[in-house]
Amino acid sequence: MKTKNDSLDSYRFFDPDEAVKKIAYELYLNVKDLPIISPHGHVEARMLAADEPFPDPTELIIIPDHYVYRMLYSQGISMESLGIPSVDGTPVEKDHRKIWQIFGDNFYLFAGTPTGIWLTHEFSEVFGIKEKLNSKNALEVYDRIVEKLKLPSFRPLALFEKFGIEVLTTTDGPGDTLEYHKQLKKPGLKGRVIPCFRPDPVVNITSKEWKKKIDEMSNASGIDVASYASYIRALENRREYFKSLGAVSTDQGVESPYAHRLRAMEAEAIFTRALNEKATEEDARRFTANMLMEMARMSAEDGLVMQIHAGAMRNHNTKVFDRFGLDKGADNPLQTEYTRNMHELLNEFGNDPRFTVVVFTLDESTYSRELAPLAGHYPAMKLGAPWWFHDSIQGMTRFRHRATETAGIYNTVGFTDDTRAFMSIPARHDLARRMDSNFLADQVSRRMIDMDDARTLGRALAYELARKTYKL
């Protein structure tokens, strides 16, 4: 974000101290060009399989990215004016140049934010745009991106290879047929696109969509889900199917990581109430707790790595949800407890060598208090990368500072971009590699570790830990 941004500064984001900066840069050069492993994210396989040109800058950069428009919205810019599609029929802006102009007018709001840093990287390194976006140059920048997007080298798969992606993991529902993943199994493609099994739509028994999602899972699995027992069988069936297409992991997004096995009779009773649309919120809470136990059991058996993303209150803003639907930047973090909530799960599976659970949090106070001590003891538990709001310069630094001393580097899993914004993938991995290099450089400079250690740890963080943890 320099006024005249002729090229991004090679030493950017490192500590101001010259000695640390030099070491950080040396360590960064050691990992900068390693392939990208993205073990968890939300890019759509469909987009890659179709491999069509991206429509335009607004469609590419603003409309799919709630990181971008939540900031604009917070400053009083309506989501309608930003072209975010409504689900209730409210008309929204269709003129993408007009939307982009608003974005340019307000780009200054992103100063010092990770979104600002990623976008600046994306503009500069992907599109060759070195100026800071502003009101004056917004439409010119728009046009330059439009020109680029017409080029064959800017098609999704060409970028996929240019970005150096070795593995890209998508997130898919239990009823998903994974047809695009099949299409992507073509010989020419360097790098893999693999699915991840996310059962949430069939676990959230009080959601309006639940029965529809159960039906989809019945269809996909060929198992008529009419009871808790058949439900479990269908889940196991779908996991196998996902595995057959390369899946190495599952993921569950839960408000609380509370895990507790229900007796079969209770599970069945709740499931029946859910089928009859009579399940209560307390039923849902207990059922989710039970399904964390069941998913852990299945993982111990089939080897898929279990991921838990805990602590978001979804759809906090009802007005936004009613008009725009899910995932519109209105999910907000909650205090989260792991030591008690995961007690039963870790007791039953935490010592099991077949099992791996990667835990993510939005509650940074748990890094040093709960997550690092647990991961520093249970062989099955690993710490996920700083997630979502915390995937930032200060956020990543806090994570390393608070988790490493107790958990060590080897009980963490490297970087996870978790993004919907395909174009931002290189920027995110580059930032993570810079911050990890900087963290290690500080330790070298304090003589906590030496350069040999730092180089080894740097490669582990940038590449090897993800490969190893996710068995890639």
Closest CB 194 distance from a second copy, rounded Å: 25
Report the site for a second copy in 436-455 (rule: CB under 8 A). Answer: 442-443, 445-450, 452-453
**Among the listed residues 192, 186, 183, 119, the one whose alpha carbon sits nearest the alpha carbon of residue 161:** 192
**Among the listed residues 294, 300, 308, 406, the one whose alpha carbon sits nearest the alpha carbon of residue 351:** 300
**CB neighbours (10 Å) of residue 365?**
11
Report the site for a second copy in 371-410 (rule: CB under 8 A). Answer: 372-379, 381, 389-390, 392-395, 398, 401-402, 404-410
271 touches 321 (CB < 8 A): no
Closest CB 308 distance from a second copy, rounded Å: 17
Rounded Cα gap, residues 177 and 258, in angstroms: 30
Closest CB 370 distance from a second copy, rounded Å: 6
**459 near a second copy, rule: CB under 8 A:** no
For a second copy, the closer CB: 20 or 247: 20
- Interacting span for a second copy (CB under 8 A) from 189-197, 223-231, 283-291, 338-346: 338-346
For a second copy, the closer CB: 251 or 370: 370
- Interacting span for a second copy (CB under 8 A) from 27-35, 218-226, 241-249, 347-355: 347-355
- Listing DSSP states for 79-144 in one string gives TTTTTPPPSS-------HHHHHHHHHHTGGGGTTSHHHHHHHHIIIIIT---BPP-TTTHHHHHHH
**472 near a second copy, rule: CB under 8 A:** no
**100 near a second copy, rule: CB under 8 A:** no
Rounded Cα gap, residues 13 and 11, in angstroms: 7
Rounded Cα gap, residues 364 and 20, in angstroms: 26
C-alpha neighbours within 13 Å on the C-beta side of residue 241: 22
For a second copy, the closer CB: 290 or 366: 366
Report the site for a second copy in 57-76 (rule: CB under 8 A). Answer: 70-71, 73-76
For a second copy, the closer CB: 392 or 416: 392
For a second copy, the closer CB: 184 or 300: 300
Report the site for a second copy in 114-153 (rule: CB under 8 A). Answer: 114, 117, 132
For a second copy, the closer CB: 301 or 450: 450
Backbone phi, psi, residue 176, to 5°: -70, 135
**84 near a second copy, rule: CB under 8 A:** no
**Among the listed residues 440, 447, 446, 444, the one whose alpha carbon sits nearest the alpha carbon of residue 462:** 440
Report the site for a second copy in 3-32 (rule: CB under 8 A). Answer: 3, 8-9, 11-20
Contact with a second copy (CB under 8 A): which of 368, 412, 416, 424?
368
**90 near a second copy, rule: CB under 8 A:** no
Contact with a second copy (CB under 8 A): which of 171, 249, 411, 416?
411
**Among the listed residues 292, 466, 323, 267, the one whose alpha carbon sits nearest the alpha carbon of residue 384:** 466
Backbone phi, psi, residue 332, to 5°: -135, 140
**364 near a second copy, rule: CB under 8 A:** yes
Q: What pairing do the DSSP bridges indicate for beta strands 306-310 and 252-254?
A: parallel
205 touches 75 (CB < 8 A): no
Report the site for a second copy in 272-291 (rule: CB under 8 A). Answer: none
